Each structure stands twice: as C-alpha cells, then as structure tokens.
Structure 1
Amino acid sequence: MPDVRSALTIAGTDPSGGAGIQADLKTFQEREVYGMSVITSLVAQNTTGVQAIHHIPVAFLEQQLTSIFSDIVPAAVKTGMIASEEMMRCIAAFLAESKITYVMDPVMYAKSGHALMGEDSREALKTYLVPLASLVTPNIPEAEELTGIQIYDEASIKTAAKMIVREYGAKAVLMKGGHMEGTSAADWLYDGENFASYTADRFQTRHTHGTGCTYSAAITAELAKGKSLQEAVKIGKAFVTDSIRYSLQLGKGNGPTNHWGHRLKSIPVQEEQHNGIY
C-alpha cells in the first residue's frame, strides 16, 4: 500500500465552493493528500458576500475533533475561520497534545469584507493558537489587526513578521503581499532567523474568492507530505497563482479561483533568500 498522508482542515463552510472547508478539500485533493474536515461554522455565502452564519456548538466541535484524532491522526492541520474564544481553546487543546504541524490562516474577513471574527476572538487567537503554529499566513489587513502595525512597504512587513514570531510565539510567518500595489505579488516568509521572498506575476481580476484558504491549504498539504517549509511555501505560491490566472469566471461578485489551474500551465515563482536577522 502507498504511504498516504492526510491533512485536516478546521474551518467554516462555503456552499458556493470557493473558500473555507470546500476550497481546502479541493486543494488537498489536487495536492494528493487525503483530506479531512472539522466544521466550526456554517456560513451562507456566495461570490457576492455573506448572508448568514451559524456557529457549531463547542461540544459538537470537540466531538468532531475527537472522532478524527482517535482514528486517522493527520500529518498536518490547518485552521481557517474560528469564531469564538471557546472554539479556540477547544482546538488548542487538541493541537497542544498532538504536537502536529499546524498552519494557521487567521481568517477575519470574507472577501466581501464581512467580519467573521469579533475583536475579543482576535485577541484570543494570539493567546491560544498563534503560539502553537508552525506557520501563520496573514494577509496585510490580518497582519495589521494582529500586530497593530500599519503595513505599507517591505520594512513594515518585516517588522510585523518579527512581532508575530518573536513576541506572539509562532515558529514562522508568511506575510502575504497581495494587498500591496505593483505588477508582481510578493510574499515574505520569516522563520525567526531569516527572510525569504516569493514573487509571482500579479493578475488583475476580481475572481480571487478563497485565495487565502487555497494558499494555506496547499502549504499544509506539502508539509503533510514531508516537504520543508520553504519548499511548501514555494509550491503553495505557484499553486494559488495558477488558480488565480486560470480563474473560472463564475458568479456575480468576487468569483472563485480554479483549483485545477495548476494542471494548465505552472506560473514561475521567484524565490530569494535574505540571510541574517533583521
């Protein structure tokens, strides 16, 4: 039998299929890992926005996690939307005990701008989950919320990255620069010692629903397969860039990315290492 690696996503749903649990499972499948899911919130949303949210009772969240960890223990875990402090404490207990590779996508807003997490929960995120994370993957607005730093250039990106690792306790952080201006999209990985940048072409399109979920899920899948953090980020960057370039042009709003875009033509990613502590 082959050595099948599994990955678990803990997140909210997206019935339109572009983000959340649905996007994560599609990505796991495309990256050839066995995908599993634990649902935190049921979200009525589509490409135009979020219409309603129903949060799963914490007791049932715990039952879902118990079902997974008592049977098929994942090689890597990622989290997305986690709405409450109680949920975070519950998830943190399983992660702390298992010591599994953990990628945290700090989902705070839907692509439409709808808040998916309250201010109290954002503070709890830093307290309970960031210190357990092998990697945190914030976009610029999320990193600003986490750190209180206004991010507008490379220097401020690096300052925020160092805070998330050195002060909040994450092992590494990937600062996603998609909200910055420019003809290319650059992301910065900081592992506590060195920075590395990953740059790919930027495509002008409104069809970017679920890019953060897809990117972090691709990284999680590669880590589950035993890739190094740097390799996993480079593969994830190429995967999400392909999914944006070959988007499906669906929906009346911010349409979903294409999870099989990587099969069409891979986009080159430029990787640069920046040695030394900044």
Structure 2
Amino acid sequence: MTPEDTTYIRRTHTYRSVLTIAGSDSGGGAGIQADLKTFSALGCFGTSAITAITVQNTRGVTGIHSVPPGIVQQQIVAVMDDIKPAAIKIGMVHTAELALAIAFSIMPYTVPVIFDPVMVATSGDRLIEKQTVNAMERSLFPHATLVTPNLDETEWLTGLKVSNLEDMKVAATRLLQKGCRAVLVKGGHLKGETLHDYFLDNTGREEVFTSTNINTLNTHGTGCTLASAIAAFMARGADLVQAIAAARSYVHAALDEGKDVQTGLGIGPLNHFYNPHKLIKYDLEC
C-alpha cells in the first residue's frame, strides 16, 4: 500500500503531534517515557528524538550513554519533515555538542519550543556535564519559547540563592538576560502549604501561579511532565500562559492521583493516565 493508492479511504484528519528531544529513563518515570505518556494522556501524538540512554530506576541514576549528535539531528529532521509536530519539548541535553546539534536542527522550524533544562535528577544525581551549561545558554535559550528550570537549576544557571518568591523574581530577570524569551521558575522544592511558580517574559508580563502542596514521595518526572504538558496544550492551540495554567492543573492532579502508589523502592512517578484523553482528530488542511 502506498499513500497514492486510491483504493483506500481518503485521509481527511490528522492528530496534533509533539516532539520530545530528551533522554531515556529505563525506570519509566521521567525523560522520554514521561513525555510520551503525557502527550498521549492529553490527546496528542507523541514522537521522540533520544539524546541519551540512562541507567536509572526510582532510587537513582547509575549510568549515562550519550547518543551521537549526528544521530540526534537525524531523528529530529526525520520527524519534523514528515510528521510535522506542532510543538517541541527539549529535556536532557548531556553534552555541549548535543546542545549545538539540537539548536541547529530546530532552527528552521517555527513551532513553540519548551525547554526543561534538566541538570539534576529527582534523586540528586547530576545529569549533564559542566561545560554543557554555557552551550545550552548560548545555543538553546534563544530558540526556546519558554525555559522551565526548577530551583536547583535556577541557582546553577544564575548563581543566586533562591529561597522564596521574591528570590524567584530576581532569578527570572537574570535568566531573561541570558537570552530567554520567557521563563517559568518552578518553586516546587520550597517548603510550605502553598507552592508558587513564577512566569516572566521579555515584554515584562509576569504571572504567579499557585497550588497546594501535595504530601507525596512520588515526584519523579514532575518537571519533564510539566514541560511536556505545556508543549501539548500549545500544540492543541492554547497560548503560552493558558498552556502553563492547564499543564500545572494536569500535573497537580497526576501527583494527587499517584500519591499513594508504590512503584519501586525509591521516588515513584506521577499517575499520568488518571484521566486520559482520546487522540484528538483535527481536519486535515489541504
């Protein structure tokens, strides 16, 4: 069968697809695995370009093998030129060479790019090389619609100690000076009944998002899931701030639904499929 074979049903619809460029988590809770689960749960068709293979489970990361930059580039181009995802999520970028290769590969495409600068796993294991940070800032920050660091990553990127909402605001301004168009500093690591995420873009628009703290050990992959959900909602047509709000609601519910589940002996994952959507069909534009 070929696409030109007229004996088959005419194709009149398409799915909104999203591309994740990230590392593989053998434990299934974060990285590529969490991204694809999120896309599917939110009614999008997930595609992937794997940047690294990690050896990890709920207790930590014990090995990382980077995929050659040329292969990563080929994965990105193969997907973007054929399936044409409506949004891109970038996660783990293990080396400076990978950062440059990814930046070069996504440059021709005008779709939203959500960059979660994964540096440290939930277990505390460092996931990238030191020289990669400067390469990410130079090459990937300018191409990102939104950068979503957690507090550890924010401190690493800015050199500032972040202990409260006011610190998050100062750090966000510093991140914009590094070439970001918009940043969402995630405050999930702060203690308290109410958690804050702080959004700032290069037009001066700011938003403070709040949520109640959920008492759970199952937080593995939370950052990956949030960035992927933002990308999925943007692929479905939401603007950036709308997508952030919807993604935060999704993650909050996924944390709540998975809080009493044991998966492995360490820090478990969210419940990505607590309320899954069917793949959403859209009219195919001719």
User: Normalised by the size of structure 1, how large is the TM-score?
Assistant: 0.91
Q: Deviation of residue 239 (structure 1)?
A: 0.8
One of 179, 182, 188 as aligned partner of 1:172: 182
Which structure has the higher relative contact order (CA within 8 Å, separation 6+)?
Answer: 2
Q: Deviation of residue 99 (structure 1)?
A: 2.7
Aligned to 2:68: 57
Is it true that 1:125 corresponds to 2:130 in the alignment? no
One of 84, 92, 97 as aligned partner of 1:81: 92
Is it true that 1:157 corresponds to 2:168 in the alignment? yes
Q: Does the 8 A contact of 2:151 with 2:186 survive in 1? A: yes
One of 270, 275, 284 as aligned partner of 1:257: 270
Q: Deviation of residue 70 (structure 1)?
A: 2.3
Aligned to 1:16: 27
State the aligned residue count.
Answer: 262
User: Normalised by the size of structure 2, how large is the TM-score?
Assistant: 0.89
Q: Distance in 2 between matches of 1:3 and 1:56?
A: 31
**Which amino acid counterpart does residue 156 of structure 1 have in structure 2?**
D
Q: Deviation of residue 154 (structure 1)?
A: 1.6
One of 231, 234, 240 as aligned partner of 2:242: 231
Q: Distance in 2 between matches of 1:98 and 1:23?
A: 24
Q: Based on CA coordinates, which of the two structures has the bigger radius of gyration? A: 2
Is it true that 1:188 corresponds to 2:198 in the alignment? yes
Aligned to 1:30: 41
Q: Distance in 2 between matches of 1:107 and 1:119?
A: 12
Aligned to 1:270: none
* Off by >3 Å, runs of 4+ in structure 1: none
State the Cα deviation string for residues 189-231 of structure 1 (Å, max 9, x = none). Answer: 1122121111111112111000000011000000111101111
Q: Deviation of residue 261 (structure 1)?
A: 2.8
Aligned to 1:104: 115
Query: Which 5+ residue runs of structure 2 have no aligned equivalent?
Result: 1-11, 277-286
Q: Deviation of residue 62 (structure 1)?
A: 1.8
Q: CA RMSD in A?
A: 1.2
Residue 22 of structure 1 aligns to a residue whose secondary structure is: helix
Q: Deviation of residue 3 (structure 1)?
A: 4.6
Residue 116 of structure 1 aligns to a residue whose secondary structure is: coil
For 1:264-275, what aligned pairs fall within 5 Å after superposition?
Answer: none
State the Cα deviation string for residues 159-212 of structure 1 (Å, max 9, x = none). Answer: 1111212x1121111111001111022111112212111111111211100000
**Which amino acid counterpart does residue 124 of structure 2 have in structure 1?**
G
Q: Does the 8 A contact of 1:134 with 1:172 survive in 2? A: yes
Residue 40 of structure 1 aligns to a residue whose secondary structure is: strand
Q: Deviation of residue 262 (structure 1)?
A: 4.5
Residue 121 of structure 2 aligns to a residue whose secondary structure is: coil
**Which amino acid counterpart does residue 196 of structure 1 have in structure 2?**
E
Is it true that 1:199 corresponds to 2:210 in the alignment? yes
Residue 88 of structure 1 aligns to a residue whose secondary structure is: helix
**Which amino acid counterpart does residue 157 of structure 1 have in structure 2?**
M
Query: Which 5+ residue runs of structure 1 have no aligned equivalent?
Result: 264-278
Q: Deviation of residue 25 (structure 1)?
A: 0.3
State the Cα deviation string for residues 236-256 of structure 1 (Å, max 9, x = none). Answer: 101111111111321100011
Q: Distance in 2 between matches of 1:159 and 1:200?
A: 21
Aligned to 1:137: 148
One of 251, 257, 262 as aligned partner of 1:246: 257
Is it true that 1:222 corresponds to 2:233 in the alignment? yes
Q: Distance in 2 between matches of 1:147 and 1:99?
A: 28
Q: Deviation of residue 119 (structure 1)?
A: 1.2
